[in-house]
Structure 1
Amino acid sequence: MTNQYLCAECGIPFPIMHQGFLALPVNDAASLAVFKNGLKPKLIENKLYIPYDSIQSLEEEIQMLEEGGLGEIRAAVTGSELKVPLMIELSVLKERIRNKEMVDVIVSNKFVSYFQPIINLKSHDLFGYEALLRVDHSEKQVPPGMLFEAAHKTGLYSLLDQRARETAIKSRVGKIPNGMKTFINFLPSTIYNPEFCLQHTFSIVDKYNVSPSDLVFEVVETEEINDIDHLKNIFKTYKASGMKVALDDVGSGFATLDILSKLQPDYVKLDRNFISYCDQNTMNQKFLQQAVHISKEMGIKVLGEGIERKEELEFCAAIGMDFAQGYYLGKPVKDPVEQVRA
């Protein structure tokens, strides 16, 4: 990863050494809390350097400072050279210490993508794959949900999301032929300025000579869509670079049918809760038929996800859905399958 496209929000975190100094900016609150707790800092260039000789003593110092009301003050850890990296909130620093193993996984960037097949419901041919992030570790598997939860706590959400996109693009090279789509999740909240934040992703696309038209970026299911204009700007930036965009889990939570006209995605993925036993559940059938009708009127392609039964697949095809994905068709695997049952 080049530094050209790194900013404060997704830069590489500084290492936490077993001994060194906890650095704080000089202000009245910090000075009062430090001296009140009997800590003996060095004062150099408007910073307080508090020595520690073990991770445990570092945690104890942070605890003292938090109890003194300094949880939101920005701090850093440095070695004997007293070079202060980018400071982060003290409460976030504490989480990085507590979640050091997860932080090391994110920093190491040892990720791979697993690919779940997506089929064309009219021809039953493979249309593409969804890329799903996995840790490339032979001894210990880390659930993606746990990894992203740790990233959120430790202020590394943006870095992990960026690396997930990078991994998905690199992983398709030599495995997925040109002309076949890769659906890649992204978190809108990690993209502060699309024109800048997405340049790293676009540089990876260029580096590996991947056709932009083969990539579909989809809003990840856990994200609350509370800033439509921001998401529209992200979609616009992706589309301007020749890529496609998708809205995931439509019908569940925050992704509702009434925002389709505002966002104009290329694809919508209908929530698996509506797909489950849709051949039997009349309420689900009504929603799916409505979703297909509205999407078709706007020229949006429809994908049913979470298909686990033949009957669900047949119902989705019968009401005019374009594509399908789910365990019935294939589970996520490291090496993309070339054929699926349909």
Structure 2
Amino acid sequence: MRTLQDILNQRTLSAIFQPIMDFSNGSFIGFEGLIRGPANSPMHSPANLFGAARQQGLSLEIEMLSRQIVLETFADQGLPGKLFLNVSPETLTHPSFKNGQTLVYLENLGVDPKRVVIEITENQPTFDFDAMRNALLHYRGMGFQIAMDDLGAGFSSLRLWSELRPEYVKIDMHFVQGVNSDPLKQQFLKSIQQIAKSSGTQVIAEGIETDAEFRVIRDIGIACGQGYFIARPSPTPPLNAHAQVGCLINTNNVVEQPYSSTRNVTVGSIQRYVESFPPETAVEQIFVHFTENHNLRSIPVVKHGRPVGLINRHEFLDNFSQPFRRELLGKKPCTELMNAEPLLVEKSTPIHELSGFLSESEIKHFTDGFIITEQGRYIGVGTGQDLLREVTKAQIENARYANPLTMLPGNVPINEHIEHLLQNDKSFAVCYADLDNFKPFNDVYGYRKGDEAIQFTGKLLANVCDPKYDFIGHIGGDDFILVLQSADWEQRCNRALAAFARTSPVLFDEEHRSIGGYLTADRQGRIVRHQLPTLSIGAIWVSPELFSSHHEVAEAATAAKKLAKGKPGNSLFIERRRLPHQEQQHEAAALYFG
């Protein structure tokens, strides 16, 4: 039987890798490197291997060798993406770890440190928290990224997350397995995801073992995941997800997209006027104002009508209440205790734009609030709480008109959006997308698979849209409307068709893929062969001088869609004539556009 010293001397450890998936597109962002001891030995189990190492005082040596083996194997295989490298806090803070050995190994292997994520694993309490934090900051400065492992099971990961802001946080598999049937676990994951979004951290769900768990994790909005359902650890891991997982990625139930319409709410709706003070105001006077106004969260500092700073209540009072601070600062100008770089937001800014900005910026802007201006002049303040309340109201309003299957905007928002663009003299493309041969597919595969095909198509079409300029709506059934203001709108349509041709086979059985269709009996009992579904897009160019209402746009788009469906396979028809207003299929337009 091999001893630990034999293992160290002969380097008889082997590395295996488990892919980590990005749920947004189904690709693998990288691989977690795992270690195994000699085969056909009790030491093959990592629990036994590291347990024995701790008992014999060889933890550091075994972990250092493990890291070398993982790095060498990762480089030898030329695996793409990032390598998640497990490191214990004990080893991380050991002087021999901090002397640059890992960097030297990486340089010799030709691996960029920016591709390596130090994954902190904890199986015992971390007593020297400051040393671990300082070590992690040291490695981040060298280019490494950081991941906290087993959130919810570790000892100091929550504190580290708060202070270190790691790039990744891994949720312990306890909260993942069975999440589809446990509302408490779902709520835990939603809370973690919300914190992660505010702190700029990506969440990785560990231990996903079933398609039901996968769906729930994906729909909550978790960024990444790993587990047996995605791929098992392997000495030679797959580089792409298998078809079942790929199909689930493309049938995401919720396709997020900003809804732009005449009902758009601006920051002015959450504006509250708060008395401002000039920069020369004494600190003592600001203190008196806060004590007399208990609900006042912040005070804007304004000079000649222009905001120059913001004083946060809690920071101000905490600072001012310290010993001797009142005597030292009382008569000084309030600029001594103000934030000289507050967030300034114009009154006309749509709230969804501000919400997106705040979700990606420092949390301080959300907690402190922001100053609202009109042409650069102070008119009021807003708070993160007010913004959340207004965004929630807008989301509820939008959900009233969303298609329940894809959660994309339905007929009413589509019509309002087109009218809004026409009234503002905008030119744009309207593309009517429709699945061909969908009814036979629905009959053969059943309504559940039919729903998945519709969701698949909605996600695919949404992926070719630029959220800044483009809009996608779901009329109903298998019909979608794209309102595109992107300059390359025609190329986007062609990309959608190419993507459908490339990825839609995951929807069909191997037998049907091999023959390109399936056989069914018609009402007379005759056997009829049907082609597999394809995607048709009819497109028109809309300008205010050609169209005066969404009704006319609907008529022209419906006609273009019919011509596209007349072409075989995945097809795009573009009506390139500058059509005068004329009578066109009123009945069809009314049916599809409401």
TM-score interval for Structure 1 and Structure 2 normalised by the shorter chain: 0.5 to 0.7
Higher RCO structure (Cα 8 Å, ≥6 apart) = 1
- For 1:102, the equivalent position in structure 2 comes to 4
TM score, norm. by length of structure 1: 0.66
Counterpart contact for 1:265–1:300, Cα < 8 Å:
yes
Matched AA of 2:74: R
- Tell me by how many angstroms 1:257 deviates: 3.5
- Tell me by how many angstroms 1:282 deviates: 0.9
SS at match of 2:77: coil
Residue 307 in structure 1 maps to residue 201 in structure 2? no
- Tell me by how many angstroms 1:162 deviates: 1.0
Q: 1:217 to 1:253 in 2, by over 3 A?
A: closer
SS at match of 2:178: coil
Give runs of aligned pairs for residues 144-223 of structure 1, distance below 5 A: 144-178=46-80, 180-193=81-94, 197-223=98-124
- Tell me by how many angstroms 1:107 deviates: 3.0
- For 2:174, the equivalent position in structure 1 comes to 273
- Deviation string 1:244-296 (CA, Å, 9 cap, x unpaired) is 11000001241554541112211000010000111110111111111111111
Partner residue of 2:191 out of 273, 290, 295: 290
> Matched residues in 2 for 1:177 and 1:163: separation?
20
- For 1:58, the equivalent position in structure 2 comes to none
- Deviation string 1:41-66 (CA, Å, 9 cap, x unpaired) is xxxxxxxxxxxxxxxxxxxxxxxxxx
- Deviation string 1:72-116 (CA, Å, 9 cap, x unpaired) is xxxxxxxxxxxxxxxxxxxxxxxxxxx972332133222221001
Q: Which has the larger displacement, 197-206 or 222-231?
A: 222-231
> Matched residues in 2 for 1:107 and 1:257: separation?
38
- Tell me by how many angstroms 1:224 deviates: 2.2
> Matched residues in 1 for 2:2 and 2:37: separation?
16
Residue 116 in structure 1 maps to residue 18 in structure 2? yes
Q: 1:161 to 1:141 in 2, by over 3 A?
A: closer
Q: 1:316 to 1:299 in 2, by over 3 A?
A: same
- For 1:264, the equivalent position in structure 2 comes to 165
Counterpart contact for 1:309–1:328, Cα < 8 Å:
yes
> Matched residues in 1 for 2:121 and 2:228: separation?
19
SS at match of 1:161: helix
Relative to its length, the structure with more helix (as a share) is 2
- Deviation string 1:17-64 (CA, Å, 9 cap, x unpaired) is xxxxxxxxxxxxxxxxxxxxxxxxxxxxxxxxxxxxxxxxxxxxxxxx
> Matched residues in 2 for 1:243 and 1:103: separation?
31
- Tell me by how many angstroms 1:130 deviates: 0.6
Give runs of aligned pairs for residues 299-338 of structure 1, distance below 5 A: 299-338=200-239
Q: Which has the larger displacement, 263-272 or 229-238?
A: 229-238
- Tell me by how many angstroms 1:177 deviates: 3.7
Q: 1:215 to 1:287 in 2, by over 3 A?
A: same
Counterpart contact for 1:185–1:218, Cα < 8 Å:
yes
Aligned residues: 243
- For 1:4, the equivalent position in structure 2 comes to none
SS at match of 1:107: helix
> Matched residues in 2 for 1:235 and 1:284: separation?
30
Matched AA of 2:145: K
Matched AA of 1:236: L
Q: Which has the larger displacement, 106-115 or 330-339?
A: 106-115
Matched AA of 1:297: S
SS at match of 2:181: coil
> Matched residues in 2 for 1:145 and 1:188: separation?
17
Structure with higher Rg: it is 2
> Matched residues in 2 for 1:315 and 1:106: separation?
43
Counterpart contact for 2:22–2:225, Cα < 8 Å:
yes
Percent of aligned positions with the same letter in both sequences? 28
- Tell me by how many angstroms 1:314 deviates: 1.1
SS at match of 1:197: coil
SS at match of 1:279: helix
Counterpart contact for 1:212–1:243, Cα < 8 Å:
yes
- Deviation string 1:222-249 (CA, Å, 9 cap, x unpaired) is 2423332122112112211111110000
> Matched residues in 2 for 1:129 and 1:138: separation?
25
- Deviation string 1:192-232 (CA, Å, 9 cap, x unpaired) is 44585351111101110101111111111424233321221
> Matched residues in 2 for 1:198 and 1:117: separation?
30
Q: Which has the larger displacement, 241-250 or 136-145?
A: 136-145
SS at match of 2:180: coil
SS at match of 2:44: coil
Counterpart contact for 1:162–1:201, Cα < 8 Å:
no
- For 1:228, the equivalent position in structure 2 comes to 129
Matched AA of 1:130: E
> Matched residues in 2 for 1:136 and 1:171: separation?
16
Q: 1:205 to 1:256 in 2, by over 3 A?
A: closer
Q: 1:296 to 1:195 in 2, by over 3 A?
A: farther
Matched AA of 1:124: G
SS at match of 2:155: coil
Residue 254 in structure 1 maps to residue 127 in structure 2? no
> Matched residues in 2 for 1:157 and 1:151: separation?
5
TM score, norm. by length of structure 2: 0.39
> Matched residues in 1 for 2:72 and 2:31: separation?
14
